[in-house]
Amino acid sequence: MKNNQQDISAPQHEIAGVLAGKVALITGGASGIGFAIAQRFAAAGCKLVVSSRNTEHGINAENALRQSGADVLFAQADIAREDDVRHLIDVTLARFGRLDILINNAGPSGSAFGLGPIHELATDVFEQTMRVGVYGPLWCCKYALPYLRMQRGVIVNISALTAIRALPLMGAYAMAKAALEALTRQVANDYADDGIRCNSLMVGTVRPEANDISTLPASFDHAALDVAIAKATMLNRVGSYANVAEAALFLASHASQYITGASIPVEGGALAKIQYPDYRTAF
């Protein structure tokens, strides 16, 4: 198997200024994929608002980004609450006076993930999954769109392969991501005349970074999962947060000016690969 850390990212000098003068709001931007996107956007000259439910994580992210030279504001918000989302847009406008890019990255996690068979899924858990995974992005779009229209802005929704492929015990999460895909297409269609582009990234499994692994069970076998995931991809390796951040930067930039309503897989070719045993070893 190839080195699963083999990523080739554009050098900092090649993206410097790509998003100069732009303001981006990244929900769930204090950790994981969201923080990687924030780092990449900052390197491209973008001003940032990063949100998180966790104040400690948010302040740490804000400090780290500021130390790298970013103009950044952390705003505490739970996107499962409409008032929090409305306030999040308000503080963005109060700080920067405009909004060019919305990254709907925050999604179901922890108890809101809804892991389990459908017949055992508690209604309150399902409702929480929908509030975080569907209502949250919907409210973010609702309150951001009036300002995005002023700038002919961009929305990037961070979705997942589960929107179109089934995985065991992930029914609630899958339904939330499928709805996010529908929201992507609808916003792209309804606001095209305003110059707004809206796309999604359907993310496969990416390797958690060191500071995220502690949130998983101590007995979790990362090596075995890496091998299984790598075999399911064409590139024969596990993805990274940086891979997703690069794709988000492309969709947020002028380079993708003729792309909207699209669902772009970031999964190493897993969707296009038939999962048969390697016939070459059978002869």
What dihedral angle (degrees, nearest 10) is formed by the CA atoms of 145, 127, 201, 223?
A: 150
**Nearest residue to 58 (alpha-carbon basis) of 81, 77, 44, 41:** 77
Q: CA 60, 105, 139 angle in degrees (round to 5)? A: 110
Q: What is the pLDDT of residue 11?
A: 62
Residues (pLDDT < 70) of the chain are: 1-13, 210-220, 276-283
- Predicted pLDDT of residue 164: 94
pTM across the whole model: 0.91
- Domains belonging to the chain, first-starting first, are 12-282 (3.40.50.720)
Q: What is the pLDDT of residue 77?
A: 98
What strand order describes the sheet that includes 101-104? 72-76, 47-52, 23-26, 101-104, 154-160, 197-203, 263-266
Residue 265 DSSP SS3 = strand
pLDDT, tens digit, for every residue of 63-115? Answer: 999 999 999 999 999 999 999 999 999 999 999 999 999 999 999 988 777 88
pLDDT at 212: 62
Q: Residue 278's pLDDT is what?
A: 61
**Catalytic residue of the set 135, 173, 191, 241:** 173
- The amino acid present at 36, given as its one-letter code, is A
pLDDT at 263: 98
Residue 276 annotated as catalytic: no
CA quadruple 112, 116, 133, 95: dihedral, nearest 10: 30
For 47, list phi and psi in degrees, rounded to 5.
-85, 145
Find the DSSP H helices in the chain.
12-15, 32-43, 55-67, 82-96, 123-130, 136-151, 171-190, 210-213, 222-232, 241-252
